[in-house]
Amino acid sequence: MTATTEALKAKDYRSGIRAVWCPGCGDYGVLNSVQNAFAAHQLPLNSTVCVSGIGCSSRLPYFLKTYGFHTAHGRSLPVAAGVKLSRPDLEVVVFGGDGDLFSIGGGHFPHIARKNVDLTLVMMDNHIYGLTKGQSSPTSTPGTVGSITPYGVPDTSNVNPLAYALTYGATFVAQGFSGKPKQMDAILQEALNHEGFSFVNVLSPCLTFNKVDTTDYFKAAFIDLPEDHDKGNLVAALDRAFNPPAGKVYSGIFFQTRKPTMVENLRAINKKQKADKNMDLNIAVDWFKP
């Protein structure tokens, strides 16, 4: 039992289960930032639900003390939507990797984004499949060598997660780097604060299988968004997502806007229909009188 009087510290969110990622994995840093962000918001352990799919990063909910659902490959978002839409009182946070969310689960992302389901999605993007030992993913740089693409990925383009999210109507889009923990803490806190669907892409290098997009590469590549970046401007956000300076990657909050969430839209419909949990069910039966 958690005492309700004492403030929760970051470490209070950790479960007893030891994280099992490879040494040096960026996901450790993400886990730390998640704990920090949870503590900053004092998210209640018993009404926070962490949902994930399948992959290295999707193991994250086990390492937290909150409620959780380790779903099937690619299905974290619609499961999380089911939790949130049936129980809007809960804080629902989704974790997963680039393969889980943009390959096998790629069909769900646009709809969760455009419906503006009030979830926070933290994607740990390492440009590779780690759990299955090194295959190219949708975010891999074309030409990347993987176990099923030994002569290099023949795909013409990779997915730009930020542009994808922006295009499909996500109302909060940000990018962080596991090697810049302070900024990531701040981004995650903002994402949790946001009402609506928030997408945080965290570049979280895989030391074991990705020999191209390494920690050193990202360290050199990451630059903050310009100070005058207008995060209310969708076109500017898309431009920064598509066109960072050569050899560079932007981090920070690209875009944020407040729009009605799906929960709010559903509530409005119910209200119009004079929703009543205790409605006399005879009305629903007698509707079929001949």
Partner 1 sequence: MSDLIIRIGGEGGEGIISAGDMIAQAATRSGLNVLTFKTFPAEIRGGYAMYQVRFSKDHIMSEGSGSNIFCAFNKEALDKNRADLKPGTVLIYDYPDGDIEEEVKIDGVHCYPLPMSRIAKKDLEMYRAKNMVALGALSYMFDIALEELKDLLREKFGKKGEQVVATNLKAVDAGINYMKEHQKKTDPFKMGSAGKMAKDVIIISGNEAAGLGAVLGGCRFFSAYPITPATEIANYMAQWLPKLDGTLVQAEDEIASLANVLGASYAGARAMTSTSGPGLSLMQGLLGLASIAELPLVIVDVQRGGPSTGMPTKHEQSDLFMACHGGHGDAPRIVLSPENVADIIKLTAEAFNLAEEYQMPVLVLSDGSLGFRTESITRPDPASFKLVTRARYTGGEGFRRYEVTPTGVSPMSQPGDDVAGAYIATGLEHNESSNPNFTPENRVKHCDKRFKKLETLVKNYHAPELQGDGNADVGVISFGSTMGVSREAVALARAEGLKVKALHPRLIWPMQVEHIKAFAATCKTILVPECNAQGQLAELMRGVTGINPVSYRLYDGLPFSPQQLLAKIKEVM
Question: Is residue 284 part of the contact set for partner 1 (CB under 8 A)?
Answer: yes
**Which amino acid would we find at residue 285?**
V
Partnered with residue 176 across adjacent β-strands are 202
Report the C-alpha gap between 44 and 90 in whole angstroms: 9
Question: Is residue 10 part of the contact set for partner 1 (CB under 8 A)?
Answer: no
Report the C-alpha gap between 5 and 62 in whole angstroms: 26
Report the C-alpha gap between 95 and 11 in whole angstroms: 19
> Please, which residue, 45 or 207, has the CB nearer to partner 1?
45
Exactly one of 19, 70, 149, 221 binds partner 1 (CB under 8 A); that residue is 70
**Which amino acid would we find at residue 135?**
Q
Is the backbone of residue 249 left (phi > 0), alpha (psi -120 to 50) or beta? beta
Report the C-alpha gap between 146 and 136 in whole angstroms: 5
Question: Is residue 180 part of the contact set for partner 1 (CB under 8 A)?
Answer: no
CB 83, min distance to partner 1, A = 4
Report the C-alpha gap between 190 and 206 in whole angstroms: 26
Exactly one of 26, 29, 55, 68 binds partner 1 (CB under 8 A); that residue is 68
Exactly one of 11, 87, 211, 219 binds partner 1 (CB under 8 A); that residue is 87
Binding mask 102-121 for partner 1 (x = CB under 8 A): -----xx-xx----------
Exactly one of 150, 151, 246, 274 binds partner 1 (CB under 8 A); that residue is 274
CB 73, min distance to partner 1, A = 8
Question: Is residue 277 part of the contact set for partner 1 (CB under 8 A)?
Answer: yes
CB 252, min distance to partner 1, A = 30
Question: Is residue 4 part of the contact set for partner 1 (CB under 8 A)?
Answer: no
Integer CA distances (angstroms), 231 to 27, 217, 242, in order: 27, 26, 15
Site for partner 1 in 28-67 (CB under 8 A): 45-49, 51, 54, 61-62, 65-67
Question: Is residue 214 part of the contact set for partner 1 (CB under 8 A)?
Answer: no
Q: Segment contacting partner 1 (CB under 8 A): 169-177, 214-222, 249-257, 281-289?
A: 281-289
Report the C-alpha gap between 126 and 232 in whole angstroms: 28
Partnered with residue 198 across adjacent β-strands are 120, 172
Q: Count interface residues toward partner 1 (CB under 8 A).
A: 57
SS (H, E, C) 30-90: HHHHHHHHHHHHCCCHHHEEEEECCCCHHHHHHHECCEEEECCCCCHHHHHHHHHHHCCCC
Question: Is residue 97 part of the contact set for partner 1 (CB under 8 A)?
Answer: no
Exactly one of 10, 83, 223, 236 binds partner 1 (CB under 8 A); that residue is 83
Interaction site with partner 1 (CB under 8 A): 1-2, 17, 45-49, 51, 54, 61-62, 65-72, 75, 77-87, 89-90, 107-108, 110-111, 266, 269-270, 272-277, 279-282, 284-286, 288-290
